[in-house]
Structure 1
Amino acid sequence: MAKRLTYYILIGLVLGIITGLAIHLSLNDGSPQAAERLKGIAKAFSYGSTMFLRLIKMIIAPLVFATLVQGIAQMGNTAALGRVGGRAVAWFLAATLVSLGLGLLLVNIMQPGASLNLELPPATAVSGVETAAFSFEKFLTHIVPTSMIDAMATNEILQIVVFSIFVGVAITAVGAPAQPLVRAVDGLVAVMLKITDYVMRVAPIAVFCAVAATLTERGPGVIGQLAWFMGSFYIALAVLWAVLLGAGFLFLGARITELVRHVREPMLVAFSTASSEAAYPRMLEALDRFGVPPRIASFVLPLGYSFNLDGSMMYMTFASLFIAQAYGIDLPLGTQVAMLLFLMISSKGIAAVPRASLVVIAATLPLFKIPEGGLLLILAIDHFLDMGRTATNVIGNAVAAAVVAKWEGGLDAPQPVVDGGPVSPTHPVEAETDAFR
């Protein structure tokens, strides 16, 4: 099978849409019994995507730990580590501010909620999203793990990053006596990449199941509801992509187009599964093939998964102000800027929180006297919005890693691109499995 995995994922996506819509339209007669039957079929489909995401979660913790420790050890000294970390954080903060600012600007220009003219919900109405799951104080105390084993067991990426930095810096400080441990970590990286290849073989099936499950249960109506809000948000994402890629062009030049070609497979996985974690393993490999040194990619990417969620940042301001518009609540510019700054601070480290963007929005709305129950407006279509913002998170982190690598002395030569996808004949995993993809 000579076609690349990207094409199989696209086929799975299209077949999932067709299958889900066909089942919903053929079985839905408006009765409660039909709704229950469709829900059962959707649940059966969801087993495939759930198993795939569990497989991804199975490999994320050891992969992040091994690649991050390997990357720090390859840097050779703590000065290089501090320099790379400082540049990465500076980029993340700038990208966050731009994403939030664009969301604020574009939602005011397009006014997606202005035509709804909804009545204010009762003061007791709630969204059902657990806001207690996140607070800035809890985030600060949660950074440092009480147990590395517990952090790995629960896939707490930020805690794994903190522990891995300590291990990597200690290995660098110890020097020669730690070389056996360095070789063991190198071996673990190779093994985890091999396991990653096995897991990714089922990605097309998982994509098919995820899309089919959603459309079987909800049908085409879920896409039609709040269509202008969905459309305007995707227009906003397109503008954000243009800004991110334009900023990348300033540093990378024409190679920015190569970067997009190399990362389109993990980006498509992220879009179709609405999971950044699902794209992480392939993203490491794609950046390596593009020319980002592994020591840079394995350090910047895990940090980006906690601090550089560009699509989610835009969604927070966009959705918050959409809800205000829907209820006819006029927010002065100063209040909107205050909301932007609050979201910028409170959104850091949210990656480990389930439905993180919704959690932060639900916590933010009451502070600015916007009904929290308004979040119910967008819950039904949040999955489709999450697909777009997750893919944007992936491309944002790809650009960040490439730019930091450029700052650190330049990119390596890219691997050749054949048949619309990257080929790496020397890669320990890709060399053996290219025929499948």
Structure 2
Amino acid sequence: PSTIASAFAEGDILQVLFFSVLFGIALAMTGETSRPVVTFLQALTAPIFKLVGILMKAAPIGAFGAMAFTIGKYGIGSVANLAILVATFYLTAFLFVFGVLGAVCRYNGFSIFSLVRYIKDELLLVLATSSSEAALPSLMEKMEKAGAARSVVSLVIPTGYSFNLDGTNIYMTIAALFIAQATNTDLSIADQILLLLIAMLSSKG
């Protein structure tokens, strides 16, 4: 980032993560000298997580209002084709989660259904707001309560938010195909495979 503040102001998670890792390394290297800073940051997370929790409860209402405004002003037809796209995306995501990720969970000795039940509130929030960032604080808290070390959670989950964007990869591919169909643009199998590879690379999924 050009400045420390710009990374946070622009909401670029990758830049924030990069700064956070460097800052964490610096805190670890300075040891006891930085203990007050570490204590302050740990105390700061409590009100921030509580604030996000309040916003989480209000987010579905805002999403409902936005959809109601769009339908009321432009009619139900304005979202009919979009609804097909969204339904296709969620069906694909469902198959990916319970197929691919389900197999990964089973290999590691637990059930994907148990995990989904455990983080159902965060999943509903993401579904209502179409933004996974809103669920980050509470998701980290739940992973710590589940027994994961705080240091592991603080590194793995934010990193996954930046480098393992499987949902983004799925959406980019489906949305591109949707636009191609809407504009009568013919895509060969080779074009579609290339599109998938580009989506995987650009989304880091």
Same fold (TM over 0.5): yes
Residue identity opposite 1:251 in structure 2 = N
Identify which of 233, 241, 246 aligns with 2:103: 246
1:263 corresponds to = 119
CA deviations on 1:332-354 (whole Å, 9 max, x unpaired) are 43x43333222222334xxxxxx
Q: When you count helix as a share of all residues, which structure comes out higher? A: 2
Taking the aligned partners of 1:206 and 1:152, their CA distance within structure 2 comes to 23
Distance 1:220 1:193 in 2: 37
C-alpha distance in 2, partners of 1:161/1:203? 25
Residue 211 in 1 paired to residue 67 in 2?
Answer: yes
Letter in 2 for 1:158: L
Question: Where do 1:49-64 residues align within 5 Å?
Answer: none
Residue in structure 2 matched with residue 187 of structure 1 by the alignment: 43
| Superposed counterparts of 1:27-426, under 5 Å | 145-225=1-81, 229-242=85-98, 243-254=100-111, 256-324=112-180, 327=184, 329-333=186-190, 335-348=191-204
Match of 1:205, as an amino acid? I
CA distance in 2, matches of 1:313, 1:240: 11
Which sections of structure 2, spanning at least 5 residues, go unmatched?
A: none
Give the AA of the match of 1:300. Answer: V
**Runs of 4+ displaced beyond 4 Å:** 226-230, 322-326
Relative to structure 1, the CA distance from residue 261 to residue 200 in structure 2 (aligned partners, 3 Å threshold; closer, same or farther) is same
Q: 1:231 to 1:269 in 2, by over 3 A?
A: closer
Distance 2:93 2:77 in 1: 23
SS in 1 for 2:108: helix
Paired position in structure 2 for 1:101: none
| Cα deviation 1:103-136 (Å, max 9, x = unaligned) | xxxxxxxxxxxxxxxxxxxxxxxxxxxxxxxxxx
Query: Cα RMSD over matched residues?
Result: 2.6
TM-score (norm 1): 0.42
> Bigger CA drift: 201-210 or 147-156?
201-210
Residue-by-residue CA offset, 1:360-398 (whole Å, 9 max, x unaligned): xxxxxxxxxxxxxxxxxxxxxxxxxxxxxxxxxxxx9xx
* Native 8 Å contact 1:288 1:294 kept in 2: yes
Whether the aligned pair in 2 keeps the contact of 1:262 and 1:290 (CA below 8 Å) is no
Distance verdict in 2 for CA 1:325–1:221, change over 3 Å:
closer
Cα distance, 1:170 vs. partner? 1.2
State how many pairs are aligned: 203
Q: Is the partner of 2:148 in helix, strand or coil?
A: coil
> Among the aligned pairs, what percent are the same residue?
37
On the 8 A contact 2:59/2:129 being kept in 1, the answer is no
Query: Larger C-alpha radius of gyration, 1 or 2?
Result: 1
Give the gaps of 5 or more residues in structure 1.
Answer: 1-144, 349-395, 397-437
Shift of 1:275: 1.8
Relative contact order, higher structure (CA 8 A, sep 6+): 1
